[in-house]
């Protein structure tokens, strides 16, 4: 069990004071049996006139801030501490996923009590008119019969990790899964979307996850540190929602801090908002993220 501290600072700068509209934040991690929020605080400068919280349709924590004055600079400084309980050690054996017997081999069909809730998470989000993703993912299926579900998903995860080149893209938006296949490269978001589309093509339910990645100070081998990170979950009967990080070949939640779990990536933007002014007024946006291990909480929410 580890206590991790996440500092996430975003600063917008403008040529002259602009009118600030409402801003939406997704900084607070989700709580569960494997991670617990010990403390959370966001300092916003200038101070907003009004703040409110809500849980979205997926149960993610969402905060809104409204402003009453103009400003030439806007900063969001989020600091959270999370008690993190990884399900396995990265360098050790892959986790026993405890999949139900009927789902231990692919293909299988979700039970009637689960299917109504999983249907939208099986639907593919991106067009694949030439079946490029379909052809790519089916090469992981055994030609001699049923394929082990666990080994199938691990093989897809490892294939992206080992066979694609990670590129930190600063621009907004995502590559389509077919573009990532053709380029053989992408960001963590692109890799998560590719694997999500691939497993959905096989009829499996998958969700997009946005959060943070803890990179150990010694022997750190991960890509995607120093910023927000993205991966996916696949629903397996008996095991539930299992994390897969194709950017780093991770299976399970080791070093992954969940903030938002959604059906589509656009629903998990960490920070968004509006301002009123001339297009040339916007000068820059700077984001810094640090995730460090801490011995014990030093502040309270």
Domain segments of the chain: what residues? 2-84+269-294, 101-254
Q: How far apart are CA 194 and CA 200, in angstroms?
A: 10
Greatest distance between any 2 Cα atoms in the chain: 67
Name the pairing type of β-strands 256-262 and 206-213.
antiparallel
Q: pLDDT category, 256, cuts 50, 70, 90?
A: very high
Average pLDDT on 168-188 reads 89
Is the pLDDT assigned to residue 297 strictly greater than 70? no
| CATH classification code of 101-254 | 3.10.620.30
Q: Which of 211, 208, 287, 290 shows the shortest CA–CA distance to 11?
A: 287
Please write the tens of the pLDDT for every residue from 205-250.
999 999 999 988 765 678 877 789 999 999 999 999 999 999 999 9
- Mean pLDDT across the chain: 91
- C-alpha torsion sign, points 257, 140, 160, 60: negative
Of the options 3.40.50.920, 2.60.40.2250, 3.30.465.10, 3.30.365.10, the CATH number for the domain spanning 2-84+269-294: 2.60.40.2250
Q: pLDDT category, 162, cuts 50, 70, 90?
A: very high
What single-letter DSSP state applies at residue 32?
Answer: B
Give residue 300's pLDDT: 37
Residue with tokens 């589509």: 264
Between the alpha carbon of residue 135 and those of residues 125, 183, 202, the distances in Å are 17, 16, 11
Of 274 and 221, which is predicted with more confidence? 274
Give residue 58's pLDDT: 97
Q: Please count the CA atoms within 13 angstroms of the CA of 185 that sit on its side-chain side.
A: 6
At residue 126, the 3 state secondary structure works out as coil
Task: Please tell me the total number of residues recorded for the chain in this structure.
Answer: 301
Give residue 295's pLDDT: 62
Is the pLDDT assigned to residue 156 strictly greater than 70? yes
Is the pLDDT assigned to residue 298 strictly greater than 50? no
Of 97 and 146, which is predicted with more confidence? 146
Give residue 8's pLDDT: 97
Give residue 90's pLDDT: 41
Whole-prediction pTM value? Answer: 0.92
- C-alpha torsion sign, points 239, 141, 118, 85: positive
């Amino acid at each position: 069990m580890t206590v991790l501290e996440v500092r996430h600072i975003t600063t917008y700068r403008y040529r002259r004071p602009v009118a600030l509209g409402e801003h939406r934040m997704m900084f607070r991690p989700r709580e569960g049996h494997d991670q617990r929020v010990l403390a959370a605080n966001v300092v916003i400068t200038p101070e907003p006139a009004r703040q409110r919280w809500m849980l979205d349709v997926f149960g993610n924590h969402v905060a809104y801030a409204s402003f009453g004055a103009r400003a030439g600079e806007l900063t969001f400084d989020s600091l959270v501490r999370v008690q993190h309980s990884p399900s396995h050690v990265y360098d050790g054996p892959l986790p026993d996923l405890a999949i139900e017997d009927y789902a231990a081999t692919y293909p299988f069909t979700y039970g009637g009590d689960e299917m109504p809730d999983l249907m939208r998470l099986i639907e593919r989000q991106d067009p694949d008119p030439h079946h490029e993703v379909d052809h790519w993912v089916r090469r992981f299926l055994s030609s001699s019969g049923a394929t082990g579900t666990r080994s199938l998903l691990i093989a897809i995860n490892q294939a992206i990790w080992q066979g694609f080149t990670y590129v930190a893209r600063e621009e907004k938006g995502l590559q389509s899964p077919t573009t990532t296949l053709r380029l053989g490269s992408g960001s963590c978001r692109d890799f998560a979307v590719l694997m999500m589309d691939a497993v959905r093509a096989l009829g499996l339910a998958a969700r997009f996850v946005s959060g943070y990645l803890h990179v150990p100070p010694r022997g750190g081998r991960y890509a995607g540190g120093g910023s927000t990170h993205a991966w996916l979950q696949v629903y397996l009967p008996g095991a539930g929602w299992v994390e897969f990080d194709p950017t780093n070949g991770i299976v399970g939640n080791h070093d992954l801090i969940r903030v938002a779990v959604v059906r589509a990536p656009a629903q998990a933007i960490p920070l968004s908002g509006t301002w009123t002014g001339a297009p040339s007024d916007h000068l820059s946006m700077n984001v810094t993220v640090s995730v460090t291990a801490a011995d014990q909480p030093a502040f309270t929410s």
